[in-house]
Every structure is written in C-alpha cells, then in structure tokens.
Amino acid sequence: MNGLMRGLRSQEAVIGLAVVVVILGAGLLAPLLAPHSPYAQTSETFLPPSASHWLGTDEYGRDLFSRVLYGIRQDLLVGAVAVPIGAVAGTVLGLVSTVWGWLDTVIQRLFDVTLAFTSLVMGVTVAAVIGPGLPAVLITVSLVNVPLFGRLTRNAVKSLQTRDYVTAARIVGVQPVRLLFRHLLPNALDALVVQAALSLSLAVFIEGAMSFVGIGVRPPEPSLGSLLRTSITFLDRSPLYALAPMVVVTALVLAFNLIGDGLNKGLLRR
Amino acid sequence: MTMIALKPRATAVAAAGVALVLAAAGCTSAVNQQGDAGGTPSRGGTLRIVQGADVQPATLMSQNNPNFSLTRTVFNSLIQYDHKTLEPLPELATKWETSGDGKTLTFTLREGVKFHDGRAFTAADVIADLEIIQKAEVASQVKGIAKQIAEMKADGDTKLTITFKQAMSNTLDLFLMMPIIDPKTADDIFAGKSFNGTGPFKVEKYTPGQGFDLKRNDQYWDSGKPLLDGVTITVVRDSQSMLSSLKAGQSDLALDLAPLDATTIKNDPAYKLVESDANDSVAYAGYNVTVPLLGDKKVRQAISYAIDRERILSQVYGGIGQVTSLPWAPSSPAYDQAKAKHFTHDVDKAKSLLQEAGATGKTVNVYYDSGFGPNNGLAEIVQFDLTAAGLKPNLQPLQASDFLSKLRSGGFDGMFLTAHGFGQISPATLLGGAFPFNFTKNASSFVSPDYQQLAEKVWFSPGKPDAQALAQVNDFLLDQQFVSDLVTSTHTFATTSKLQGLEWTMLDYLDLDDASLAK
Amino acid sequence: MLRYLLRRLPAALVVLLAASLAIFFLLRLSSGDPAATLAGPDASDETVAAIRSSLGLDEPLITQYLIWLKGVVTGDLGTSYILHAPIAQLIGESLGNTVLLAAGALLLAVVGGSMLGYLMGTVRNRAVQNVLGALTSLGVAVPTYVTGVLLILVFAVTYRVLPSGGVGPGLSDFEIGVQYLLMPAVALSLPTGATLARFLAASLRHTLDQDFVQTGIAKGLRRRRLMTAHVVPNALPPVTTVLGIQIGQLLGGAIIVETIFAWPGVGQLLLQAVTGRDYLLTQDLLLIAVAVFIVVQIATDVIDAAIDPRIRMERA
C-alpha cells in the first residue's frame, strides 16, 4: 500500500474527509436541499429559527439556511476551478524550470514576485485591477497557488534528479521530457497531493476573507464570507446569522487541514 | 469546533474575567464612559463632531454632504429660509426687495460684520463671490441662476443691486446656497489652506483626512453667540465606529450614521436621533432612455409599480422617511400628497404593463455605487422586485468614481439607483440644477421640448411659480418616469442628550449659533 | 554577514522593481475616473476636464510611471485624489495604528506561543499533548474573520465589557486605549501564536532527541541548565524563520482584523483606496506592502544567520 492510501486511512484524514463530503455535498445539492430560494425576499425580517426557517431570516426576509447552503457553492467553485488551474500552472512552470538553467532564474524571480504579494494583498491587488467580485477571487486563488506548486515541483524534481535511477535512465538515453513526465513527476506527486489539500483549505480561507472585506463575492449572491460580514451589523438581533457561516467556514478549513495532516503522516511513515 | 460551541457558562466566565481584571485594576471601562443626561444650556465647552467623510473644501460653493459641518459654522449666507414656509430670513442681508418686473433684487447688508481676519464685510465681497460661482471650474448647483445675472452694482458698503436677464422663481436660492467667503483668499479656501469667513467659528487647524479644530469667533456679528468655545470635526470612516465613539463618550454628535445603526439608538434616552426636517435625500431609480427597452415609458412605469417602496423604507432606511413617487419634500410648494402616493407596489399592474410593452423576460442592467451602504440594500430589493415582475435584472455594482463618471456621461446601458437632493427648496432649482432632472442635460438622457417648456414655465416666472404649472410638471414626471422617485429620507444627527440648541439650515448645514452642552 | 546581505540585495531589488511595474500598469488598465469623483455629482464636464489635467492624468502612462517611481524613491508619495491629503501623511497616521495593532498582536503571539510551544515540546503527558495539539490546530485553522466576529459577539454584544470597534484614544489614555486594542490584537495574534507554538514544539522535540542532549543528560547536567544553555538555543532558528514569515503576512491579517474592528490602519486605508479607485494611494500602499514583506524576509534570513553559524557558512 502506498503512502497516500495509508494517509487517507489515518484518523485525521477520515474525519476531514467526512466533514468535507457532508458540507460540500450539501452545497452541491443545495437546489434540492434548500427549503426556500436563497434570493426570495419577504417583509418578514429577522424571524427566529422555526420549522420553515431553520436558521431564521435575514434583513430582507430571506431564508438564512438556504443562503448558507448556496454560500457553500462559491467555495465549491473556487476549489474545483481556481485551485486546479493554479496547481497545473505551477506544476508545469516548476517542471519547465528544471530543464533550462536560465529559465529557472526567470521563473524563480516570478515566483518571488508572486510570493511577495501575500494571499490577501494579492486579493486586494486583483480586486483593484479587475474590480471586486467572484472573478477576482478565482484569479487570486489561482495566482497564489502557482508559486506554491511551482516551488514544490521544482524542489522535488531537483532532489530526484541526483538519484541513481534517474542517472541510469539518462545514460540509457531516455529523452528528457519523457524522463520528466514518466519518472520524475509521478515521484513528486505525493508532495503535490498534500499541497492540494492545504491549498483547498487556503482557497476557502481566501474566498471568505475577500468576500468578508468586501472585495469578493458580491450581494445578493450569498457566500460564507459575505454572510458573515453582513451579520456583524445584526449581532445583537440575530447571533445565528453570524454563527452559521462561522461554523461552516471553520469546519471546511479545518477539515482540509486535517486531510493534509493525515496524508502527510501516511507519507512520512513510509 | 470547541471554539465555536463554547458553553454559555464558559463564555460568561471569560467575560466576567475581563470585567473583573478591568475592575480590579481600577480601570475606567471604555464601554461606559457616557455621562448623565440633562441640564440647562450653558456657555463654554467644545462640541465634538464625528462624520464619515472628510470635508471637501474644493466643493464649498456647492451642496456636498461632507461639508455640512463646516459651511454654516465658518461661513454665513446672505439669507436663510424658514423651514416650514420657505420664506427668506435675514442673515448677512437684513432687507431685500424685488423690482416689479422681478428682474432686479436689492439687498441691504448687515452693518458691522467682519471677516475672521478683521476686515469689514461689504457689498463688493458679495459681487466678487458671485463672480467666483460663475467660473467654470467652481462646482455649484445654483451656477445656472448666477449665470443669469446681467448686472451687479454696489452702492456704498451695504447696498447691493443685482439685475437678472429674466425674472426667475428661484433667484433667492442662489443667496441661500452661496456661502460668503473672503473673495481675496478664495483660492486658499478651495485648497484647504485657510478659511476666512464671517461665521460663528474660526478655523484653528485643519488636517486633511482627519478633521478640523474650530474656535469661537469673539467678533461674531450676532453678539453673545455662539455659546460654545469650540468645535472639533473628526473624520471616522465607518458608521459603526462613529456609533461606538458616540457611545463611549468620545463625541457628542455623529452625522449621518448608516440608517440601520441610527435606529439602534432610537430608544435609548441617553441619545437623541434628530431627523432633519429638510427631507432632502431622495432615493430614486433612473433610466437611460436611449436604451431601446427603457425608451418605452410603459416599461419605466412598470418598474415603478414593481418596486416595493414600503419595504425599501423599512428594510433599508430603518423607517426613517416616507415613500414617494415625486422628488419634492413636504415643505416644497410643488409637494402634492396624493400624487406623491401615485405609485404603489402593484406586481400585477407591472406585469401587464411589461406584457403590453413586449418587455417581459428582457434583461436590464441595474447600476449603483456599492460604496455607499444603503445603495446595496436598495439594489437587492429592486433586483428581487423586478424579477418578480418578469424582468431579468442584472446587478452592476460600481465604485464611486466609476458610477459618477458614467452618471455624468449618460454611460449606463440600463437603469441606475442613487439619490438626489434639492426637493426641499424652490422647485425650479431642482428642475434646473439637480442633475437627474436638469431639463437641458440629465442623467437619463431624457430630452423633451414639452419638459423644457414646463420647466422653463416654472423657472422663468417672477415670484412663486403658479400651482397649475407645478401640477403640470408633477403629472409629466409621473407619466414619463425618466426618474422613479422611491423614498424621501433625510439626513440624521445622532447626539448625546447633553447637546442642546442644535439647528440646521434648509440645506442641512449645521447651525451651531445656539448650540450648547449641558454640564 | 554584510557579504551575505549584499548578495541578497540585487535579487530583492529586481523583485521589487518587477512588482512596481506590475502594480502600476495593471492598475491603469482598469477604468474609472478619479476626476469625476473629485468634482462631485452635479459638476459640469469642463470642471471635470480641468481637474483631470491638474492631476496630471492626461500625461502618457510611461511618464506617469517614471514620475511615480521618482516620487517613491525621493519620499514624495504625492497627494490622494480622493482623500485630499498628502499620501505620506495618510500612511503615517494609519501606519501608527497598524503598528500598534501588530505590536500588540506580536507580543501576545510570542509570549503565548512560546509558553504553549515550550509546554508541548517538553511535557510528555499524552493527554496534555492532545489538548494542546488540538488547541493549536484550531488556532492555526480558524480564520481571523471568524475569531474576530466571535470575540465581538461574546465580549461586546452578549457581555458588554469591551468596545466593539474603533481605535479609541490610543496610547494617550492607556487605560482606555488598551481596552480598544485587546480584541483586535487577540484576533490577529491567534494564527501567529499557534503556528509559533507548533514549530517551537516540533523543534524542541527534535533537538531533545539529538545526541548531544542525550549526552548532556547522561553526563548529569541539571535540566534547567540543559534547556537554557543547549536545547532552546539550538531549537530557535527554525522558529525565528517561521516568525519572520508570519510577520510578513501580518498585513494580510491586519486588513481583515481592521475591517472587523473598524480599526483605522493601513489595511483599512488600502481597502478604501481600492474601492474608491484612488490609484495613487493604492499603488503606493501595495508597493509598501510588498517591500515590507521582502525586507522582513531578508531580515529574518540575516537574523537566522546570526544565530546559527551553520547557515551562514552554508549559504555564503
């Protein structure tokens, strides 16, 4: 059994996976599960929790439970689109940089520049350029992930390049590109999978943070971050308004972290 | 999730812990610095004002919300208006007479008025100020009136004769709006370097971005006033922080709290939420009428029926204000209670009008400035209501500068949500000076000879415009709906109950001549 | 040491220059007219045009970039279009608030994090390990915007013992000022403190397993002397590295925390600049953020090298 599989069966990973499946599943099935439209406004504002409104209603009389469910979908989108784009771009750049020395310097500087914009500063920059909104979140999450995956790939490949079997393959005359994709990349994959779990956690965090400070997902589209932001005004009237998105966003971030930890353990025990 | 599901008892212990530590250290709590309320008006003391945006000295000659705290505290106007009758009241002018043909206005100016630098105020200053307001680079909503001036003549220091090209119904609005500044240092005033006026307070210090320190003007013409020793104006860029500063006893007066924040102190006896009776902030939906869909007045009427004004009033403005279909405040001669209620929330009527126009299912872009809190709520409600009526609204939140530049250039390919003022003084000033309604060029790109004729009939009439002309304008506005007025709200002043004698002008400029702080 | 520093500088400058190019030209790609904002809602076209030319917004882009760069280098940051104030002054004021917040948070994080980390690294009790492990995992994972709102909910709304926001009188009235600072600083310190604790614990455990420590124990060294003279110094370098990275990221956290607590610092100013389309202020602040990150990184490396001679030799 390889390290990743062992990692997936660790206690942390199992708990993490369970939480992720439940929450993301609920988001995915939101159109079926939500008792109301997340946009349906009524004049019944700030209703307390009841059988028809599990979490009560918000300032425009909308059903909060439905809005939280639909809010999860933004994270689903960011995780399923932005993280893979950033991961693939980073991995490819990382691989390419190991082939030619001069390109390595250029790409490393590029990564340096990207890293110098820490995640939220990057978010602010992107929002300043293209304007606040979901696209800004997607671009930010992609960009932030590029150097993370790039560095990881590059370092993994570099350390493998000195191994005997690689030297042997090179002597036998295996083409560099083929060597890279058939032999080096698969061996670097373990580290990349762990990073993917951590990146998903980061993606949820960034979406929440950008929407929270007002440069991410815009109303009336619900997102966990924007729900939490709006809820501050109404903390004294309706604490559940804040608590629901808090619990979900924390659970998601924590769960992805746990999966990452579990995977890491499995790999280290090898 | 232990962090989240903290047991109530555990949190109580933690909270008690914080309280106990503070108490044990003999600390004053930052939460409860508020003093006792009540008392008699008294002299002295410094009034501490907090407001959300910095004063913009460059726009001093126009009505601009951030300047409300400065314009009437450091400067004066020639006249003010009575808030109920709109009759002019003396300020720097003690008398005014209009000639029989309504073209000539003669002012008698107050004697013994001095600028802060000690120079005497004369008729020549008024003429120079009027010349400033006529300049292209100086923004003012009453520039149109100033540009109608044919001749200005000073007769000695206190007599002033101004002749206009034609008689107008809103001539006096110019003299209500125009602050009397020292014309010799006008450039310094617009640049924020010095502020030489005749008002009750002198500027002691101005730190751009932070605020003002004002000191009592001991030479003020209204002897014995003001009662306060000084005023500080501090910029606090967030409604919640303004509220906590007020509650912590660090300020006495907060200007224009967000409506939902303002309502939280409504029932607290330690505070007063004063709603200005000027009612000059009207939320509206505008339409670019050159967009095919919105060029049809049936569609615009349908939208006006579709929007639930009552819900906007309660959910966005916290119930402060009233719903309306017309731009006028109740004080305006053009106000008509029945017509103000013309558009009621009627989804069926909206649907059938859209059906007639063949507009059902069409997409419409809805632009708004998302930087200003209430607009977001407005947009969310409008989006929902339009969807319910069968349109496909597409929200387009913009940042202030993008919104303003598009508003100015008529660049919205759809409808837009924002607010206008000027419904509280002469109707002609709204029709000729407020951008959404300006009959020569407006935000909706609505051009109509009929409208121009009606507006000019209201504008170019000596004395007050006749009721019939106003009624015609109202009917025209209701029918054409190039602007759908929604809710007349108002500026609010949130104060501690220690502040007494707070007044404001018909333009909502703070008048602190009689303001005092109870000890 | 100096040689090491000099070797790092060119690369850092290249990164900074590239960042300045990216920030300037990308920002100018976006639309929006600050002149229109300045002129106000009812101004005429000629008024707007006059303001635009007075701001230099009709110069060619490359000229504007060079003027900007020259200004930044000479310390003349220009004037904010929107806030009507010299940018240096605006940044100065808000920077003071952010530094106060960050210093408070860092103090809490370092004191709390070291104590927790030391406990985790040295106490062998399984239950204590589990509890501390879980707590620090939470501390690392729970986003600042969640802890911040939770703090307000508990201490400002439910039990009204602390003010919900604002900076208060600052340090001029320490007693009151510190109550305003408490919640924002705690919220900002949690991820940093927890990360610090975890790294310190791991590093301590690793060091304790090393041969020289075992030898020390075998030789009968007093535990206290062993820890202070041998284990802790050897365990510190990786921890300072992590702390450096965390400090570099404090601005990101500050943006969030300042938003929650309406703390008028650099983060708030940056958000305000972005949403108000204040190009000049935005580009100055972003460049400063990037520069601070780079400087902190280099400083961390230099400090590491100073503490740990092995690194200096390796890299130089």
What tens digit of pLDDT does each residue of C119-146 get? 998 888 889 888 998 899 899 989 999 9
Contact B33, B248 (CB under 8 A): yes
**Closest CA relative to residue B214, chosen from B134, B340, B126, B116:** B116
Q: What is the mean pLDDT of chain A?
A: 90
Q: Which of C42, C45, C48 sits opposite B434 (nearest CB)?
A: C42
Residue B42 tokens, joined? 């008294």
CB-CB under 8 Å, B238 with C262 = yes
CB-based contact B289:B53 (threshold 8 Å): no
Stretch 148-167 of chain C: residues touching chain B, C-beta under 8 Å: 150, 154-156, 158-166
Q: Which amino acid is at A64?
A: L
- Nearest CB to C15 within list A109, A209, A232: A109
Which residue in C54, C20, C61, C17 sits closest to C39, CA to CA? C54
Q: Which residues in chain C are contacts of B6 at CB distance < 8 A? A: 154
Average model confidence (pLDDT) for chain B? 89
Which two tokens mark C110?
């370092």
Q: Which residues of A touch B314 (CB under 8 A)?
A: 43, 45
pLDDT in tens, B332-361: 999 999 999 999 999 999 999 999 999 999
Q: Is the pLDDT of residue A5 over 90?
A: no
| B381 has a pLDDT exceeding 50 | yes
pTM of the model: 0.83
Partners of C144 on chain A (C-beta within 8 Å) are: 209
Residues on B contacting A at a C-beta cutoff of 8 Å: 1, 3-4, 240, 260-261, 264, 310-311, 314-315, 370, 376-377, 379-381, 383-384, 387, 395, 397, 399
Please tell me the predicted confidence (pLDDT) of residue B21. Answer: 66
B292 prior amide bond cis, ω within 30: no
What is chain A's length? 270
Give the residue carrying structure tokens 């929006």: C32
Helix (H, G, I), strand (E, B) or coil at B149: strand
Burial of B85 (0-12, 13-18, 19+ CB in 10 A): exposed
**Given pLDDT bands bounded at 50, 70 and 90, which one contains residue C270?**
very high
d(CA A224, CA A68): 7
CB contact under 8 A, A253 and C141: yes
Write out the DSSP string of B318-355. TT-SEE-SSS--TTSTT--HHHHT-----HHHHHHHHH
- Chain B residue numbers with beta carbons less than 8 Å from the beta carbon of C85 are 54, 207-210
Distance CA A189, CA A178 (A): 16
pLDDT higher for B247 or B470? B470
Q: Count other Cβ atoms within 10 Å, centred on residue B126.
A: 23
Q: CB distance from C143 to chain B under 8 Å? A: no
Token pair of C269 as six digits: 């100013």
Of C152, C252, C259, the CB nearest to A212: C259
Is residue B81 classed as helix, strand or coil in its secondary structure? strand
What is the pairing mode between strands B492-496 and B483-489? unpaired
The DSSP secondary structure of A114-155, one letter per residue, reads HHHS-HHHHHHHHHHHH-SSHHHHHHHHHHHHHHHHHHHHHH
State the nearest Cα–Cα gap between B55 and chain C, in angstroms: 9
A265 min Cα distance to partner chain C (Å): 14
In the beta sheet, which residues pair with residue B159? B108, B155
Summarize pLDDT for B179-194 with one digit per residue, the tens: 999 999 999 999 889 9
Place of tokens 């007219």: C33
Q: Which residue has the higher pLDDT, A33 or C3?
A: A33
Closest in B15, B137, B401 to C34, CB measured:
B401
What is residue B100's predicted lDDT score, i.e. its pLDDT?
86
Lowest mean pLDDT among B391-395, B443-447, B481-485, C10-14: C10-14
Categorise residue B197: left if φ over 0, alpha if ψ from -120 to 50, beta otherwise.
Answer: beta
- DSSP for A69-81 reads HHHHHHHHHIIII
Mean pLDDT of B481-493: 94
CB B2 within 8 Å of CB C138? yes
pLDDT at residue A262 tops 70 = yes
ipTM: 0.90
CA distance C76 to C78: 6
pLDDT per residue as tens digits for the range B144-202: 899 999 999 999 999 999 999 999 999 999 999 999 999 999 999 998 899 999 999 99
User: Which pLDDT band, with edges at 50, 70 and 90, does C166 fall under?
Assistant: confident
Q: What whole-number distance in Å separates Cα of residue A140 and Cα of residue A122? A: 6
Task: Tell if the CB–CB gap between B395 and A243 is shorter than 8 Å.
Answer: no
Q: What is the pLDDT of residue B30?
A: 66
Tally of CA atoms within 13 A in the half-sphere of B230 that contains its CB: 10
Which 3 state secondary structure label does DSSP give B123?
A: helix
Distance CA B362, CA B293 (A): 8
Does B240 contact chain C (CB < 8 Å)?
yes
Nearest to B238 by CA among C265, A128, A223: C265
B270 or B477: which carries more pLDDT confidence?
Answer: B477
Lowest mean pLDDT among B79-83, B398-402, C312-316: C312-316
Task: Print burial letters for A136-151: b (CB count within 10 Å at least 16), e (below 16).
Answer: bbbbbbbbbbbbbbbb
Q: How many CB pairs under 8 A join B and C?
A: 169
Taking only the tens place, the pLDDT of each residue in A43-59 is: 899 999 999 999 999 99
Measured at the CA of A84, the angle between CA A109 and CA C12, to 5 degrees, comes to: 15
Q: Measured in whole angstroms, how far is the alpha carbon of residue B240 from the centre of its chain? A: 21
φ/ψ region of A232 (left if φ > 0, alpha if ψ in -120 to 50, else beta) reads alpha
- To the nearest whole angstrom, how far is the Cα of B222 from the nearest Cα of chain C? 33
For the residues C186-208, what does the mean pLDDT come to? 92
Q: How far is B434 from chain C (nearest CA, A)?
A: 7
Residue B349: the pLDDT is: 96
Q: Given this model, what pLDDT does residue A266 score?
A: 84
Of B415, B392, B423, B425, nearest to B483 by C-alpha is B415
SS3 state of residue C261: coil
Distances (CA, A) of B139 to B169, B209, B328, C47: 22, 21, 23, 7
Question: Does the distance separating the beta carbons of B384 and A40 come in below 8 Å?
Answer: yes
Percent of chain B residues topping a pLDDT of 70: 92
| C85/B141 touch (CB, cutoff 8 Å), yes or no | no
Residues of B in contact with C131 (CB under 8 A): none
Q: Which two tokens stand for residue B215?
A: 């000191």
What's the gap in Å between the CA of A131 and the closest CA on chain B? 8
Mean pLDDT in chain C? 84
Residue C316 to residue C313: CA distance in whole angstroms: 5
Does C312 have pLDDT greater than 60?
Answer: no
Contact predicate B64/B191, CB 8 Å? no
Q: Poorest-confidence range of A206-215, B5-14, B301-310, C189-198?
A: B5-14
pLDDT greater than 50 at residue C315: no
Distance CA B424, CA B277 (A): 9
The answer to whether the CB of B305 falls within 8 A of the CB of B353 is yes
Read off the amino acid at residue B172: L
Q: Give residue B34's pLDDT.
A: 45
d(CA B501, CA B516): 6
- B511 touches B306 (CB < 8 A): no
**From the CA of A165, how many Å to the nearest CA of chain B?**
47
Confidence band of B6 (pLDDT split at 50, 70, 90): very low
Task: Determine the pLDDT at residue B457.
Answer: 92
Which residue is it, tokens 């004053």? B28
Q: Does residue C69 sit at the B interface (CB-CB below 8 Å)? A: no
Using an 8 Å CB-CB cutoff, list chain B residues near A251.
1
Q: Which tokens go with B225?
A: 């006033």
Residue among A59, A55, A52 nearest A36 (CA):
A52
Contact B54 C39 (CB under 8 A): no
* Range among B149-158, B236-245, C287-296 with highest mean pLDDT value: B149-158
Interface check C96 vs B, CB under 8 A: no
User: Do A201 and C141 lie within an 8 Å CB cutoff?
Assistant: yes
pLDDT category of residue B15 using cuts at 50, 70 and 90: low
CB B429 within 8 A of CB B173: yes
Q: Name the band, by pLDDT with cuts 50, 70 and 90, for residue B139.
A: confident
Q: Hey, are the CB atoms on C85 and B402 less than 8 Å from each other?
A: no
* Chain C adjacent subunits, 3+ CB pairs under 8 A: A, B
Place of tokens 């058939």: A182
- Please tell me which residue, B382 or B63, carries the higher pLDDT value: B382
Q: What is the pLDDT of residue B361?
A: 94
Q: Does A237 touch chain C (CB under 8 A)?
A: no
Report the sign of the C-alpha dihedral through residues C80, C83, C86, C90, in that order: negative
Closest residue in A to C245 (Cα) is A118
What does the alpha-carbon distance between residue B238 and residue B492 come to, in Å, rounded to a whole number?
15
**Closest of A81, A118, A104, A114 to residue A209, by C-alpha:** A118
Per-residue pLDDT for B37 more than 70?
no
Q: How far apart are the first and last CA of chain C?
A: 9
Give the distance from residue B376's alpha carbon to the nearest chain A alpha carbon, in angstroms.
8
Span C27-58, pLDDT tens digits: 887 756 667 766 665 667 777 787 777 777 77
